[in-house]
Structure 1
Amino acid sequence: MSATTLARNESMREFPSSIEAASSAPSAGPSISRKAVAAAVAGNALEFYDFVIYAYFAVYIGKTFFPVAGEFGSLLVAVATFGVGFFTRPLGGVLIGAFADKVGRKPAMILTVTLITVGTLGLAATPSYASIGIAAPIIVVFCRLLQGLALGGEVGPATSLLIEAAPPGKRAFYSSWQIASQGLAVTVGGIFGVTLSLVLSPEQLAGWGWRIPFLFSLVLVPIAIYIRRSLPETHGGDTERSGASIVSAVFRKHGRILWLGVFATASTAVASQVGNYMVTYAVQVLKLPAALAQGSVLVGGATTFAFALVGGLLCDRYGRRVVNMLPRLALMLSIVPLFMWLSGAPGAATLLTVSALLAALTAVFGTAGLVQVPELLPIAVRSTGLSLVYAIGTSLFGGTTQFVVTWLLAVTHNPMAPAWYVVAMSAVSLVAMWMLPESRNVDVSR
C-alpha cells in the first residue's frame, strides 16, 4: 500500500463516525432562511471589501505613505504593508474562532464587523507622510493589523453557521455564498476603481481619490451590524471551556486535518492574490491604462461571484474532493500559457480573459476547500479549526504573494513570475488535497 493511501486512511480514521455518516444526516441548529444567508454574507462582503480595496489602490497608497526611491520602491513597501494585514489573521482565528465556539457564532460575527470598521476608518482618515511624517506609515500598518485580526476571525464563525444551518444536501451551496460574497466585494471595489480612474485625473486619484472607497464602506457598517443581530444561532457554545482549551483541542486531536487544510489553502490564497494583483501588474508591468487595469478587477469579481455558486452546486452533486482537485490541476497547467499570451499581447481582450479564467477556476476549488475542511471538524471546535486553517494558510501564502511577486518581477524582469508562482503553490495544494478524505456524507451536527 502506498504512503499516500496510508495517509488518507489515517485521515479517515481520525473522524470515523463523521466519514461513515449518511448524506442525509441532519444539520445542527435551526434551518436558515434566505434572508439570514443574505445577512451572513453581507457582513462578510463588507469586511472583504474593506480589506481588498487596499490592494487595488496600492500604487497610490505607496506614494502617499511610503516615499521610497526607485520604480518599485514605494510599491514594494505598500504591498508589504498589505501583507502585514495577513499576519494577524492567525491571532484573529485563535481569539475570535475560539470565542465563536465558546459563546456562539453570532456574537463573534458582530465583533469582526466592529473591528474591521475601526481599521478602515484609520486608513481613510490618516494624513499623508508629507503631512505628519513617520506617524503616517505607523498608523497605516496598525490599521492593516487590525483589519487582519478581524478577517482572521470572520471566516470560521460565518462559514460554520452556514454549514450547520443548511438543508441536507445543500451545505456546499450555502457555504459557497462565502466565496461569492468575496467576489461581490471585489466587484464593488472594481466598480469604484474604474469609475475613479475615469472621472479623476491621475493627480487627483493619487492625492485623495483613493480614499473614497474606504469612506463609502463606513456608511454601510451600521447596516451590517444591524442585520447580523437578526441571524439565528446554530451553536450555543460551551462557556465551561476556556479559549485555550478549545485551541489546544484543535491542534492535539485534529492537527492532521488542520495542517493539510493549511497547505490545501496555499493555491487558493496565492491565486486569489495574484488576481487582486492584476491591477498593479497591468499598470506597472504591462503599461496599460489605469481604467483598463481596474476593469480586470471588476471582471474577476463578477466571475468569482458566479463560479463560487457553480462550485457549491458541483460539490453537492459530485463531492468535495473532485471539485477541489480538477480545477486546481487545470489552473496549474493553463496559467503559464495564459500569462505568456497576456505578456506577448497586452490589451483589453487578453487582460480581461486571463483575469476571468483565473477567477473562475480559483472560485470553484476555493469553494470546495472552504466546505470540506469544516465538515471534517466536530462542531465543538469547527469555528476555531476553520479560522486557523484559513488564517494560517492565507497568512503564509496569500499574505506574502503580492510582495513575492513584486520582488520577483523587480529582480528577474520576467513577466511570467506570477504564473510560475501559482504553478508551484498549486502543486503543493494538490498533494495536500489528495490526502484529505471526502466529507460530503459527514454529519455536521456532531
Structure 2
Amino acid sequence: MPHQRTVANASSPPMTSSASTTRPLSKPWAIGAITIGSGLELYDSVVYNFFATLIGPQYFPLTDPLSQLLFSFAAFGVGYIMRPIGGLIIGAYADRVGRKPAVVLTLWLMALSAAILVLTPTYAQIGLAAPIMMTVARLLQGFAIGGEMGPASAMLLEYADEKSRGFYTSWQPFSQGLAAVFAALVALCLTNLLPPSALASWGWRVSFVIGVMVIPISVMIRSRLDETLVPAKWGESTKASHRSLMKENWRELLASVLLMIGLASAVHIVVFYLPNYGAIQLHIPLSQSIWAGFVGSIVLTLLSPLAGWLSDRIGRRKVVWWSRAAMLAMIYPAFYALNSVRSLSCLLVVAGCLAIPMAMTSASTLVLVSEVLPQRLRATGLSVSYYVAVVIFGSFSQFFSTLLIHWTNDPNAPAYYVIGCGLISLVGLAMVKETLGRRLG
C-alpha cells in the first residue's frame, strides 16, 4: 500500500512501496481523479435545482403556486442544513483517518440519496410519505456533500508545492462548474427531447438515474489515489481537535465563514437562481432559461484554474478583493437590464458576465481559507466554514430572493441580497493576512 506523506514534504511525489499491487496515479491524473469525483458527486444536488419547478407540484401539492415554489426551493435548501454536520463528522474522520477513505464514503452516500429520489412515488400515490422521503434524500445529499468538499480540497492543496497551491486548489471550484455543466446539459436534453407531460411524470427522474450510474465509476477512479495525511494516533481525541479548532483558530474560522458568505450567495444566485428567475420572473420557457445555468457554469469551469494560477502570482487577497468589488458593482445593473430587456439573449449575457467575478473569487477564496487552517484541522475547518455560510446565505438564497420580490414588489430584489452578502464578506477579508508563499503547518 502507498505510504502516507505529510504536508512538510508536499512538494515531493507520493511514495509507494514495492509491494503495492495497484500502480498509483501520477500528479496530473490524481488531480483529475479528485476533480471528476467531486464533480460527479455534486451533480445530483445541482440537477435537482433545475427541476425544482417540476418536482414541487408533485411532492408539495398546495393550491397556491407561490407556496409550491417556495416549498420546492425550501426542499432544495433543507439539504444544505446537513452540510455542516456532514462536514464536521466526515471532515473529522478525514483529519483523523485520511482524506481518501472520506471521499470514497461520501460518494456511496450520494448514490443512496439519488436512488431514493429516483424511486420515491409522488404525493398522489403514497401521500405524506412522498415529501418526507424527498426531504430525507435531500438531507442525505447534504450530509454527503458536506463531508466531501473539505477532504477533497485539502487533498488538492496537499498535493501541491508552495508555488502552485492556488492552481491545484482551483480544481475544486472547477469541479463544481463541471457538475453544473453536466447537470445543465442533462436538463437541456430532457426538457427539449421529452414532451412536457412525460418530463413532469417521469423524465426528470432520468437525471438522477444517471447520477446513480456514474458514482461507481468515480469510486473506482478514486481508489487509486495516494493518501496525503498521516493518520492520527488512535489515542488522540477528535473532540479535542474540534475544541482546538474553536479555541486556537477562532479568528481564522470566523474570517473563513465571512469570506464564504460572499462566495456562496454569488454562486447560488448566478448559477442556480438565474435559470429559475428567467422562467418565473421573465416568463422564458424553462427549456431555454436553463441555458443561463449552463453559461454560468461554463465560465466557472474555464476561469477557475486561471483564478488559482493568478492567486499564485499576485496573491490571494488581491484576487478576492477585486473580484468581490466587481460583483458588487455589476449585480444591480445586471438585474435592471434583465427586467428592462426581458429576453433570453439578455439573460445569457448577464449570466456570463456575472460568472466572471464569481469564478475569480471562488478559487482564490478557497485557497485562502485552506491555507489559514493547520493540516490536522484543515478538512474539518474547510467543510464547516464553507457549509455554515452556504446553509445560511447560499442554500436559501432562492427562497429569500423569491420572498423579497413578493414582499417588495421589486424584481431587482435579488441584487440587494448579493450586495449585502458581498459587503459582509469583505469584513472576513480584512481579518486575514496574505497566505501566498506561507509554509503550511
* Superposition TM-score, scaled by structure 1 size: 0.92
Displaced runs of 4+ in structure 1, greater than 6 A? Answer: none
Please say which of residues 378-387 and 197-206 is displaced more in the overlay: 197-206
The question of 1:206 aligning with 2:206 is answered no
* 1:98 to 1:28, Cα distance in 2 relative to 1, 3 A: farther
CA contact (8 A) 1:257 1:376 kept: yes
Q: Which residue of 2 aligns with 1:27?
A: 10
CA contact (8 A) 1:57 1:210 kept: yes
Q: Which residue of 1 aligns with 2:129?
A: 135
CA contact (8 A) 2:162 2:437 kept: no
Q: Which residue of 1 aligns with 2:231?
A: 237
The question of 1:370 aligning with 2:353 is answered no
Q: Which residue of 1 aligns with 2:341?
A: 345
Q: Which residue of 2 aligns with 1:305?
A: 301
Q: Which residue of 2 aligns with 1:161?
A: 155
Shift in Å, 1:30 = 3.6
Q: Which residue of 2 aligns with 1:186?
A: 180
Matching residue's letter, 2:254:
W
Partner Cα distance (1:200, 1:409) in 2: 32
Q: Which has the higher contact order (CA 8 A, sep 6+)?
A: 1
Shift in Å, 1:29 = 6.8
The question of 1:261 aligning with 2:256 is answered yes
Please say which of residues 190-199 and 325-334 is displaced more in the overlay: 190-199
Size of the aligned set, in residue pairs, is: 422
Q: Which residue of 2 aligns with 1:250?
A: 245
Matching residue's letter, 2:160:
A
Q: Which residue of 2 aligns with 1:111?
A: 105
Q: Deviations over 1:315-348 (max 9, x none)?
A: 0111100011111111101110011011110112
CA contact (8 A) 2:278 2:289 kept: yes
Q: Which residue of 2 aligns with 1:7?
A: none
Q: Deviations over 1:266-289 (max 9, x none)?
A: 111111111201121111110002
Q: 1:388 aligns with which of 345, 369, 384?
A: 384
Q: Which residue of 2 aligns with 1:62?
A: 56
Shift in Å, 1:411 = 2.2
Q: Which residue of 2 aligns with 1:8?
A: none
Shift in Å, 1:412 = 2.4
Matching residue's letter, 2:269:
V
Shift in Å, 1:28 = 6.5
Partner Cα distance (2:330, 2:68) in 1: 32
The alignment partner of 1:443 has SS state of coil
Partner Cα distance (1:57, 1:29) in 2: 45
Shift in Å, 1:243 = 2.2
Q: Deviations over 1:192-246 (max 9, x none)?
A: 1211121122222211111111111111111111111111111022033232122
CA contact (8 A) 1:376 1:442 kept: no
Q: Deviations over 1:148-197 (max 9, x none)?
A: 11111111111111111113311111110100111011011111121112
Q: Which residue of 1 aligns with 2:94?
A: 100
CA contact (8 A) 2:162 2:438 kept: no
Q: Which residue of 1 aligns with 2:43?
A: 49
CA contact (8 A) 1:30 1:232 kept: no
Structure 2 gap segments, 5+ residues each = 1-7, 15-25
Q: Which residue of 1 aligns with 2:4?
A: none
Structure 1 gap segments, 5+ residues each = 1-24
* Superposition TM-score, scaled by structure 2 size: 0.93
